[in-house]
Amino acid sequence: MGKFCRSKRYDKNLTIDLFLRDDSASSLLAGPVPCSVHGLSSCGVDLILDHIHFNGHHMFYAPQDKPGYQLYIGQQDDDKGLAPIPVRPICFNIDDSGSVHYFQLGVEFMTRPEGGWLTILKNAAAVNADVSCCWLKELLLKFWR
């Protein structure tokens, strides 16, 4: 993907798991970390996390600083056999304005979601009837041709 994305984002109420893997050693370094999907676009997702450090790894910096480290989003107990989607962290911020502190982590899809994930993302996008037509049309025309 790798290009600056100005796609419209849609707020969604989904829960997804975040994983940090060392692909060079085929090992799981951190995760599954349950996250809420705050925004969804054809380029990536905005995730909400309680913490940004897991198992001694910073989920924003570790994949950028260490060759072979890769973030994935997916489901821990996935009975449908869906492969996790590789993502690249592009921004993070802490929201400490209220009584509950949380982190926002923006990630970009490294590959196009396919198969079952495509269906899940389309269904999630179509939850609100008032945006489903526009969202699906934009999604299909710009991203998953």
Q: Which residue has the higher pLDDT, 132 or 114?
A: 114
Per the DSSP assignment, residues forming a β-bridge with 139 are: none
**Per-residue confidence (pLDDT) for residue 133, from 0 to 100:** 44
Q: Does 5 reside within a domain?
A: no
Largest CA distance in the chain: 46
Task: Quote the CA–CA distance of 58 and 54 in Å, as a whole number.
Answer: 7
Residue type, position 34, single letter: P
Tokens of 37: 């999907």
In a domain, 49, yes or no: yes
Question: Residue 126: its pLDDT value, please?
Answer: 60
Is residue 2 a part of any domain in this protein?
A: no
Percent of the chain with pLDDT over 90: 36
Q: Which domain holds residue 114?
A: 10-142
The stretch 22-49 carries a mean pLDDT of 88
Residues in the chain, overall count: 145
pTM over 0.75: no
CATH of residue 117:
2.40.10
Return the exposure string of 6-22: e unless at least 16 CB atoms fall within 10 Å of the residue's CB, then b.
eeebbebebebbbbbbb
Residue 55 lies in a domain: yes
- In a domain, residue 1? The reply is no
pLDDT for position 42: 73
Number of domains in the chain: 1
Question: Would residue 128 count as lying in a domain?
Answer: yes
Q: What is the DSSP letter of 56?
A: T
| Assigned domain for 4 exists | no
* pLDDT given at position 144: 43
Does 119 map to a domain? Answer: yes
pLDDT single digits (tens) 59-100: 999 999 999 999 999 876 656 556 788 999 999 999 888 787
The string of pLDDT tens digits covering residues 2-30 is 445 555 555 556 788 999 999 999 999 99
